[in-house]
Structure 1
Amino acid sequence: MTTQTRKSIFNRPEKAYVQPYLGGAILGIVLFLAFLLTGNGLGSSGATSRIDAALVDAIAPAHVDNTPYLLKMAGGDKNPLDDWIVPVFFGALFGGFTSGAFNGRLKITTTKGPNISNRTRWLMAFLGGVIFLYGARMARGCTSGQALSGGATLAAGSWVIMFAIFGGAYAVAYFVRKLWL
């Protein structure tokens, strides 16, 4: 099927993507407005940590009280979901879902090369996501927080992290390229 004839879950034809430079300019405006209106940039790994802290606090509150990392976000009277990053996170999920629905891209599919099974692709994507999220928390921010927000403020650590991410991706690409060809 061509791009024009594929249908999404809501039976809409797939539309073309936004021109990348226009998308980048819009993202820059959104980032500027985030700094202007909230005093914070954009990011999402902090929200996943807070959601995790809320789940742990609901299931095993004693564990939260004995774990310094979780205690910063939860424990006692603290509500881990009471932070600006949580609505940003859910807003990004809802916005992506809505955009996919309106533009005919909301469909269940597995993007992969011919030399990898769906199961292996999902397993590798999950494993990569877990490792990346762990690294994001170690680096004190995810790629959107580091690259967009930190890069926009010219934070040296953010630039170092982004060069390390791209360098790591290029280094690993050699070993997994056969799966995509």
Structure 2
Amino acid sequence: MIHVELSREDPWPETDWDALATRAARAAIERTPHGELLTTPALVELSVRLTSDDEVRALNLQYRGKDKPTNVLSFPMIQPDLLDTVTQNSDAGAGGASTTGGEVLLGDIVLAQGVCAAEAVERGVSVEDHATHLMVHGVLHLLGYDHLEDADADAMEEIERQALAGLGIADPYRVRED
């Protein structure tokens, strides 16, 4: 069972972010080989923090050595190779501190409001749709996906396209013709 713990800080607008984050997480997970995380008896938890550019900038500097805000940061709490163990035996304690008593903590996702809003305007989409894309992207990082190599980026983007299409959101990687 998946549970998303969400916190929203100003200047993020009021909306049903909890439902949006849960749908994004489910859509991402179900399109990966880790789809069983959605039906395992274990409580599978992740957190999403919607916060300011300043907070994301500080986190980006602290953890990535980059002194600027970015759209989304992901902090995995379980090794990707241990995720299969979780779905096979939710009480096995795979990952040490990442699982306890049938609970799996996937990790944390943090989104920067100003960066997200500016990118949404640039792409001609709503902030909610762009934030959904960033949440899907962040969940995939929690599951061990990355985009450092072209082949990995292509695979990750395809999962994002499928997840977003399932949520009724247009392909964020299509080339816009204005």
TM-score (norm 2): 0.28
The structure with more strand, counted as a fraction of residues: 2
Q: Is the helix fraction higher in 1 or 2?
A: 1
Normalised by the size of structure 1, how large is the TM-score?
0.28
Looking at CA atoms only, which structure, 1 or 2, has the larger radius of gyration?
1
